[in-house]
A and B are shown apart, each in its own frame.
Chain A
Amino acid sequence: MLIVENVRKVYRVKEKTGWLMRKWTEVEAVSDLSFRMEPGKIIGLLGINGAGKTTTIKMCSTLLTPTSGSITVDGYDAVRDDRFVKSKVNMIAGGERMLYWRLTGRENLQYFGSLYGLSGEGLKHRIDALLLQVGLMDAADTPVERYSKGMKQRLQIARGLINDPRYLFLDEPTLGLDAPIARQLRKHVKELASEQGKAILLTSHYIHEVEELCDEVYIINKGKLVAHDTPANLTQSLNLETTLHVVIPALSDSLDHDLRQLAMRYGGHRLITETDDKTWEVTLRGENDMTTPLLSLLAAHHSPVLRLHTQQPSLEDVILHMADRRGA
């Protein structure tokens, strides 16, 4: 298990205060953060830009040293026993970095495999298996500079798996990828956790990706943990507003009055707009679901329903809400 306990990271930043004057200031990127990564589980680390997600991943993967607190991987300290920890973890980042463009896909994997102490037939078999797994067998001997963005990203995944890590950190892995490739990648990530038992930590700006993949989500804001739960529980726990859209062919004064009364009774508010095709769109927004009373009301007024659509709060709303609340 990977255990992060009360980790804090402070950067010293040089600021220009005059022509030749500089001042050192301290910026706390991560503050008192604790979490665990367990085999077979995918956890999401969310927050708006500058929340400390990438710093956290870099600390877990030994690239950065925490200012205080501890990170242990299977009982080994990430700072003191970094060589051991490095052999158990790996990281895949979005974008097109972390690969040698002049080398072929196979040569990249051979090089990185050697850096992890792999060699001979064992390494050859592992490379073939990974190339097959990420669908790059046909392009294995083509230089990476001729790869498409999606192919480079798939090779990155193979590189991230070359040492068969127990703990995998995915930092915006689908950044800039086309929808079908991103979907394929998500499927692959899911299999890595469910079939190979890898513990995965994911950061992504695509919230639906996190909702789809993660068993648990940690939301951090300005380096501090503000919430931790399953994606479903997080969206329910905050009682955020549900939005109800209904389109009706006509709007009488009495119906308008009753809709206002309904919204007030449920602690919400209503908005009515006339659409281009001479119908009326009623939007009811409130913390409680008003679908059933609305349908009863429309039935009582003999008003047909042309369209009905409910919009539940998303994980994105939760993050924005928490960021606003903390910032206020």
Chain B
Amino acid sequence: MRNLIFFIYRYHVFFIFFVLEIVAFIILFRFNNYQKASFLNYTNGVAGNFYNGVSNTQEYFNLRRVNDSLQLENARLRSQQITSYYQNNVSISSINDTVYKQQYDYISAQVVNNSVTKRNNYITLNRGRLHGIEREMGVISENGIVGIVMNVSDHYSTVLSLLNSNCKISAKLQKTGAFGSLVWDGGDPRYARLLDVNKHVPIKVGDLVITSNFSTIFPEGLPIGKISDNSLDAGDNFHTINIDLFTDFSTVSTVYVIRNLFKQEQQALEQTLPTDKK
């Protein structure tokens, strides 16, 4: 026993090092496995408050650009207003719409922290649980998709940016409907890569890439980007497609979080399916 204590005392630096590294790895893996860690939400709130202060200051420098994009959006919405359409039908009857039922809600939020140059990038938003945001909701900007909500505190949420090695989004080509998964390979933040598109699918530069209907996170048909170039190595079964992303991640400031009202229903149904995992 004395020898053991002596041994521990002699190498106490190494043991402390070892214990601290284990603590660090536990924190790291909890987070990577998407498990709920309450202290994570806490730091999320603190860091969110901190970045909110920073972003309040920075917002002044972006006002002009934000104004421009809002004006554009206003103009687009105004053109869709009922008053800007010519009334073509004569008999007007009000019907209780049972054909269309709303499936997606949009919650607007401001980006308070963002990065684009790291290998794994994250975004912090100034809306949280109190505003109806939950984990694994989709996030889009006015141009295209941005990422997936990862952690939520009362007033803030962190988003797994599309520019992250852990982010995989199901996408398809608009023309052919061929599916693939969208990943970012860590280079230029303006381009991403579409994998797993079979080689028999014809690919044309400039084709539109949109979200697929496979996920409960994004509605089908949201624009992601357009094909900038593609290559097919001999003997390879899949295209390597580079995509020019519509969202400019380095300037994104106003985003919308998508709430799927049918998500629980779909997931509850899918959970009843028999699985092979034993």
Q: Do A and B bind each other?
A: no
By a beta-carbon cutoff of 8 Å, the part of chain A in contact with chain B is none
